[in-house]
Structure 1
Amino acid sequence: MSRLITVSQNAQSGFTVAIDGPAAAGKGAISRAVAAHFGFAHLDTGLLYRAVGRRVLGGLDPVTAAQSLDPADLVAPDSLRTAQIAEAASRVAVIPEVRAALVDFQRAFARRLGGAVLDGRDIGTVICPAADVKLFVTASPEVRAARRLKELCDNGFETDFATVLADVRARDARDGGRATAPMVPAEDALMLDTSMMAVDEAVAAAIAAVAARRAS
Structure 2
Amino acid sequence: MDKKITIAIDGYSSTGKSTVAKQLAKELGYIYVDTGAMYRAVTLYVMRKLFVTDTNFDEESILRHLPFINLKFVFDEELGHGEIYLNKENVEKEIRLLEVSKHVSKVSALPKVREMLVKLQKEMGKDKGVVMDGRDIGTVVFPDADLKIFMTASTEKRAERRYKELMEKGENISYDEILENVKERDYLDTTRKDSPLRKADDAIEVDNSNMSLEEQYEKVVKLAKDKIAQVSA
The question of a shared fold, defined as TM-score above 0.5 by the shorter chain, is answered with yes
Counterpart for residue 217 of structure 2: 203
Contact 1:66–1:102 (CA under 8 A) maintained in structure 2: no
Which sections of structure 2, spanning at least 5 residues, go unmatched?
52-60, 73-84
Q: CA deviation at 1:65?
A: 4.2
For residue 94 of structure 1, the aligned residue among 88, 109, 124 is 109
Find the aligned partners of 2:193 and 2:62 in 1 and give their Cα distance: 18
More moved, 88-97 vs 173-182: 88-97
Of residues 69, 90, 97 in structure 2, which corresponds to 1:82?
A: 97
Query: What's the CA shift string for 1:76-103, capped at 9, x where partnerless?
Result: 4122100111222211001111100111
Encode CA deviations 1:129-186: one digit per residue, 9 max, x unaligned: 0001000011000000000001111111111111110110010000001011100011
1:52 and 1:100 map into 2 onto residues whose CA distance is 13
User: Matched residues in 2 for 1:84 and 1:112: separation?
Assistant: 35
Shift of 1:51: 0.5
Which consecutive unaligned segments of at least 5 residues does structure 1 have?
1-10
Runs of 4+ in 1 over 4 A off after TM superposition: none
Q: Secondary structure at the match of 2:202?
A: coil
Corresponding residue for residue 184 of structure 1: 198
Query: 2:38 — aligned with what?
Result: 48
| Partner Cα distance (1:94, 1:62) in 2 | 12
Is the Cα–Cα contact under 8 Å of residues 126 and 181 in structure 1 kept in the other structure?
yes
Partner of residue 214, structure 1: 228
- 8 Å CA contact 1:133–1:213 kept in 2: the answer is yes
Deviates more, 1:141-150 or 1:63-72: 63-72
How far apart, CA to CA, are the structure 1 residues paired with 2:142 and 2:153?
23
- Residue 122 of structure 2 corresponds to 107
* Contact 1:52/1:65 (8 A) holds in 2: no
Question: Which amino acid in the other structure matches residue 108 of structure 2?
Answer: A
Structure 1 distance, partners of 2:178, 2:137, is: 25
Counterpart for residue 68 of structure 1: 68
CA RMSD of aligned residues (A): 1.4
Distance 1:130 1:83 in 2: 33
Given the two structures, how large is their TM-score scaled by the length of structure 2?
0.83
Residue 146 in 1 paired to residue 187 in 2? no
Q: Give yes or no for contact 1:16–1:131 (8 Å, CA) kept in 2.
A: yes
CA deviations over 1:16-50 (Å, ceiling 9, x no partner): 10000111101111100110000000011001111
CA contact (8 A) 1:67 1:102 kept: no
Deviations 1:42-78 (A, max 9, x none): 0110011111101111125322444432123172412
TM-score by length of 1: 0.90
Selected match of 1:119 from 133, 137, 146 = 133
Provide the secondary structure at the position in 1 that maps to 2:93: helix
Matched-pair identity in %: 33
Q: Indicate if the aligned counterparts of 2:41 and 2:91 stay in contact, CA closer than 8 A.
A: no
AA of the residue aligned to 1:75? N
The aligned counterpart of 2:183 is 169
Which of the numbers 6, 16, 37 marks the counterpart of 1:16? Answer: 6
